[in-house]
Amino acid sequence: MVFITGLSHYSVSLFHLANHAVFKALLFLSAGCIIHGLSDEQDLRKMGGLLKIFPVSYTMVLIGSLALVGFPFLTGFYSKDCILELAVAKHTTVGNFCYFLGCSAAFCTSFYSFRLVFLTFINPTNSFKTYIEHAHEAPITMIFPLLILSLGAMFYGFLTRDLMIGFGSLFFNNVHTNYYNFCLIDSEFLPSLIKNIPFIFTCLGAFLSFLLIHCFSVSKQAVMDFKLQPIPKALYTFLNKKWHFDQIVNELIVVKIMNFGYLTTFQSLDKGIIERFGPTGFTVSTFSLSFNYTLMNSGLLYHTPLVFIISSVAFLFFFTLGHFGLVSSFSTSFIMLLVAYTVFLFTERD
């Protein structure tokens, strides 16, 4: 969404926002069904072999994953491929670079999506025996929303494409698209090879996930032998600890921002100035003022009518001034409110 917004195609970004909401909600709720039925286990490495136990959840996860990776004719396909086609249709260096990044992202998305499917449902189980014995499919109250979302993941993109990004559509009267931006038209007539490259990257990601996550997991010794090969071992050593980037960012940025947020903005501002002049200070001041006002009440009966008479005269006096424009309406309202409040406090004990 941010990707295509940076290329000034806001209607496409909004279209992908709606599509993404459907299949991502399906994936999250399906994951909740698995966690609920597997004794609240959330570690993928401690799952596997759940296909026969969770057939409906497996179907929902598979549909959501295929929509997420942009499998043809599912909801994600119509917006993700359109985004990538718009990037290359700009015919600029930045557009081509964005297209390369988008295809790489499609490859990674496909890899981790099918990794989820293999580790959870296909691979041999690595879960605890008691978890498997008590595992169960989610009840209908949890499954029914998934069925609705699965229909959206399959058909929503197709049904709304022409409305939002179709050729010649005037979605929201084109308020989301610059009038000089004609890439949406150019993207319709790109060569077929360019249009199919994202799908090729998606298939490669799925195939690599099948090899590394499914095939190699059958034999742990094969996995260990692969990791100890010179190239994988060198790659792991090169990327290990990520060159301490996380540690540098945490120490130089994150920790300082957190300290500033707690010591300055929270203690000094939120709990200090804002509370003193805001809710807490205002409440304490109001109660203190009310208490001081009530002390003025002597309890004598003839004092109460005297206060009413004086207040009524003051009330009518300022009302007359405001009526003839001698005092602003705001000042008149404020003074009249203050007079009424004073009478209420003075007579509170009675």
Q: From 181, 197, 228, give the residue that closes a domain.
A: 228
If asked whether residues 158 and 278 sit together in one domain, one would say no
318 and 288 inside one domain: yes
Pair 145, 187 in one domain? yes
In this predicted structure, the answer to whether residue 177 has a pLDDT above a threshold of 60 is: no
Examine residue 235 and state whether it is found in any structural domain, yes or no: no
Q: Is the confidence at residue 151, as pLDDT, over 60?
A: yes
Q: In this structure, are 215 and 269 located in the same domain?
A: no
What average pLDDT does this structure show over 272-285?
Answer: 73
Whether 234 is covered by a domain: the verdict is no
pLDDT of residue 164: 81
Checking if the pLDDT of 88 tops 50, the result is yes
Burial class of residue 138 (count of CB atoms within 10 Å of its CB; 0-12, 13-18, 19+): buried
Contact present, 207 and 110 (Cβ < 8 Å): no
- pLDDT, position 171: 59
Residue 308 is assigned to a structural domain of this protein:
yes
* Cβ atoms < 10 Å from Cβ of 153: 27
How far from 125 is each of 45, 220, 227, 295, CA to CA, in Å?
9, 13, 22, 77
**pLDDT tens digits, residue range 190-245?**
888 889 999 999 999 999 999 888 877 656 677 778 778 898 888 888 888 788 88
Q: Give the per-residue pLDDT at 341.
A: 62
For residues 76 and 90, give the distance between their C-alpha atoms in angstroms, rounded to a whole number: 22
Q: Are 171 and 163 in contact (CB under 8 A)?
A: yes
50 or 327, greater pLDDT = 50
- Better pLDDT: 29 or 183: 29
Distances (CA, A) of 116 to 120, 155, 343: 6, 23, 70
| Whole-number pLDDT of residue 239 | 81
Is 233 a domain residue? no
pLDDT at residue 301 tops 50? yes
Same domain membership, residue 214 and residue 253: no
| Claim to verify: residue 175 and residue 268 sit in the same structural domain | no
pTM exceeds cut of 0.75: no
Could you give the number of structural domains in the chain? 2
pLDDT, position 190: 87
Mean pLDDT of the 41-59 span = 92
% of the chain at pLDDT higher than 70: 80
Domain that holds residue 269: 249-346
Do 137 and 279 share a domain, yes or no? no
- 218 and 70 in a common domain: yes
Residues 198, 295: one domain?
A: no
Mean pLDDT of 31-45: 92
Residue 243, in any domain of the structure: no
Q: 224 and 270 share a domain?
A: no
Q: Tell me which of 329 and 125 has the higher pLDDT.
A: 125
Q: For residue 106, what pLDDT is reported?
A: 94
Give the pLDDT confidence of 62-86 residue by residue, as tens digits: 999 999 999 999 999 999 999 999 9
Same domain, 177 and 140: yes
Helices assigned H by DSSP within the chain: 2-5, 10-37, 55-69, 75-89, 93-117, 129-133, 140-164, 183-186, 192-209, 216-218, 220-227, 230-239, 245-249, 255-259, 275-277, 279-295, 303-323, 329-346
Mean pLDDT of the chain: 83
290 and 210 together in one domain: no
Question: What is the structure's pLDDT at 228?
Answer: 85
Give the per-residue pLDDT at 350.
45
Residue 25 in domain: yes
pLDDT for 229: 87
